[in-house]
A = this chain, B = another copy of it.
């Protein structure tokens, strides 16, 4: 039952664009519709095989039985208001935002004739925009699905089947639980990488010749678009603040041990970090 007659993607950047490419390649729908905020992005979408591109979001969703919102987190509410008049009764509406609790609140603007269920495919890049979209972006990647528990079970199942049809591995939890998970694995690392990058760049001792692959990897995510990330961090502020406090605490502990020359303590902390990091890879 993963097949939809028509899928509309509203806000086709990296993720939304990749959904269109993947759905087209894997024939996940009878037809595909797309809309993006900017003319340049809409023109790019017109080059995607099998995608009908519209000038307005409300037109694009007409007749779609799955509508996927790919606009930034702080634009989702206005996007939902814009498409509401065009939605077909019985349509499933989802989004791909990196936070889910605030989006679930935003979805209350939708008519009662449609079913909203949040999604969050754990796929992406520090590079944004439809020009970066890839048909295989979701293959083998986890996609969270965050129902409230009050939806029709068949609709939730269809959403699972849809993401699976794009190659994702789906997992389900509440929106609040999801936000706690991604705070520590995604939002806190992003903010930490940004803080590290700022400390490095502001140092009078910074010399690009001494910058190796370690620094580049540790700060790669800090190259992400700030306009996307500011709304994510603020929408999940409580969890992110708690996680950042923990990073600071761990940094202080390590710094104190280095300062006092406590070799056993420094070694124990580095070892615990190494073991934890290696288990990230071994569990892939």
Once A215-B185, A280-B208 are accepted as A-B contacts, the answer to whether A191 and B221 lie under 8 Å apart by CB is: no
Most B CB within 10 A of own CB, among A207, A229, A283: A207
Shortest Cβ distance from residue A164 to the other chain B in the assembled complex, whole angstroms: 15
By a CB distance below 8 angstroms, the chain B residues around A261 are 234, 237
Shortest Cβ distance from residue A257 to the other chain B in the assembled complex, whole angstroms: 9
**What are the 5 closest A-B residue pairs judged by CB atoms, nearest first?**
A201-B276, A226-B270, A194-B273, A195-B250, A181-B210
Residue on B nearest A237 in the bound complex, by CB: B258
**Judging by beta carbons under 8 Å apart, are B273 and A197 in contact?**
yes
Q: Contact check: which of B123, B220, B227, B244 meets A254 at CB < 8 Å? A: B244
Complex Cα–Cα for A98 and B184 (A): 31
Residue on B nearest A171 in the bound complex, by CB: B209
Q: Contact check: which of B199, B222, B271 meets A226 at CB < 8 Å? A: B271
Shortest Cβ distance from residue A55 to the other chain B in the assembled complex, whole angstroms: 30
The answer to the question of A124 belonging to the interface, with a C-beta cut-off of 8 Å to chain B, is yes
The answer to the question of A28 belonging to the interface, with a C-beta cut-off of 8 Å to chain B, is no
Shortest Cβ distance from residue A212 to the other chain B in the assembled complex, whole angstroms: 5
Complex Cα–Cα for A233 and B224 (A): 30
Shortest Cβ distance from residue A281 to the other chain B in the assembled complex, whole angstroms: 7
Shortest Cβ distance from residue A68 to the other chain B in the assembled complex, whole angstroms: 20
Q: Which residues of chain A from 243 to 280 have a CB within 8 Å of any chain B CB?
A: 243-255, 258-259, 261, 263, 266-267, 269-274, 276-278, 280
Q: Contact check: which of B189, B222, B223, B266 meets A200 at CB < 8 Å? A: B189
Complex Cα–Cα for A240 and B257 (A): 11
Once A226-B274, A230-B266, A248-B252 are accepted as A-B contacts, the answer to whether A206 and B221 lie under 8 Å apart by CB is: no
Once A188-B196, A217-B220, A251-B195 are accepted as A-B contacts, the answer to whether A241 and B212 lie under 8 Å apart by CB is: no
By a CB distance below 8 angstroms, the chain B residues around A199 are 184, 188, 243, 246-247, 249-250
Complex Cα–Cα for A124 and B183 (A): 31
By a CB distance below 8 angstroms, the chain B residues around A197 are 273, 276-277
**Judging by beta carbons under 8 Å apart, are A218 and B215 in contact?**
no
By a CB distance below 8 angstroms, the chain B residues around A243 are 199, 203
**Judging by beta carbons under 8 Å apart, are A208 and B251 in contact?**
no
By a CB distance below 8 angstroms, the chain B residues around A215 are 185-186, 189, 280
17 chain-A/chain-B pairs, Cβ below 8 angstroms: A124-B214, A144-B209, A183-B205, A185-B211, A185-B212, A186-B210, A194-B269, A195-B251, A199-B247, A223-B277, A226-B271, A233-B266, A234-B266, A237-B258, A240-B255, A241-B255, A244-B251
